[in-house]
Amino acid sequence: MRIEVDCERIRRNTEAIVKVCAEGNIEVVAVTKACCGHPEVARAMLAGGVRMLAESRLKNVRRLRGAGIDADIMLLRLPCLSEVDQVVQLTQVSLNSQVETVRALSRAARAHGITHQVMLMLETGDRREGVMPEEAVDAVRGMGGLAGIELVGIGTNVSCIGGVLPTQENTQLLVDVAEDIERTLGVRLRVVSGGHTASLALIERGEMPSRVNQLRIGKASCWV
């Protein structure tokens, strides 16, 4: 079996999605997991205007780094405790929902003299990952102030295991929790990551909450 990939079309498609999202002040993080971190696909996405890539497997991240790609990379899968050293060396951002793991990332980051960014994941209905809304403030309190760690924001993931589609309501829940964290703890969350490819439908319908400023997109249907 042979698979042919049109990287120019991927570049144009990325460019179109970046443009649409930019109109709503939303940054696109390009997900390469469907192509196992193929460097040429990643380069096409970067040429289309994204600044950050995202991967779910560290072996794919190593493939990208080995090909000379030095863009920031987000680890989509929650880090394993046994992998924290690799996570902080290979990626700049990781999604997290356990304070214990972030403490381990802190120790690894300190050992390497770097700062690793983390994003707290919130459960908004899909039952895949994340802390419950009522636990979010305590989770941020536990992650805050750790050396070598920068808590950059909060995110969610739907339309996955539970098949829950993104809606204005469950995305607004993410925003409400983010703002509750800010009021309670006196912090500012730079990133509100509202979901992945399925959330593009909210932009098309004009239903995306204005506070959402990031989407993680990889398998969007061709727009061009």
In a domain, 1, yes or no: no
- pLDDT confidence band for 166 (50 / 70 / 90): confident
What per-residue confidence (pLDDT) applies to 195? Answer: 87
Q: Where are the alpha helices (DSSP H) in the chain?
A: 7-22, 39-47, 58-66, 84-90, 99-112, 136-143, 168-185, 200-205
End-to-end Cα separation, the chain, in angstroms: 27
Tokens read off for 198? 């399925």
Q: Which positions ≥6 away from 138 have C-beta within 8 Å?
A: none
Residue 91: which of 39, 134, 53 has the closest Cα?
Answer: 53
| pLDDT higher than threshold 70 for residue 161 | no
> Residues 61-117: pLDDT tens digits?
999 999 999 999 999 988 999 999 999 999 999 999 999 999 999 999 999 999 999
Q: Which positions ≥6 away from 110 have C-beta within 8 Å?
A: 147, 148
> Residues 40-56: pLDDT tens digits?
999 999 999 999 999 99
In a domain, 110, yes or no: yes
In a domain, 144, yes or no: yes
In a domain, 223, yes or no: no
Share of the chain above pLDDT 70, in %: 95
What per-residue confidence (pLDDT) applies to 3? Answer: 76
Give me the domain span that covers residue 155.
7-217
In a domain, 222, yes or no: no
Classify residue 95 by burial, with Cβ atoms within 10 Å: 0-12, 13-18, 19+.
Answer: buried
| Total domain count, the chain | 1
What is the C-alpha to C-alpha distance for residues 198 and 154, in angstroms, rounded to an integer?
18
Classify residue 2 by burial, with Cβ atoms within 10 Å: 0-12, 13-18, 19+.
Answer: exposed
- pLDDT confidence band for 202 (50 / 70 / 90): very high
Which domain CATH number covers 210? 3.20.20.10
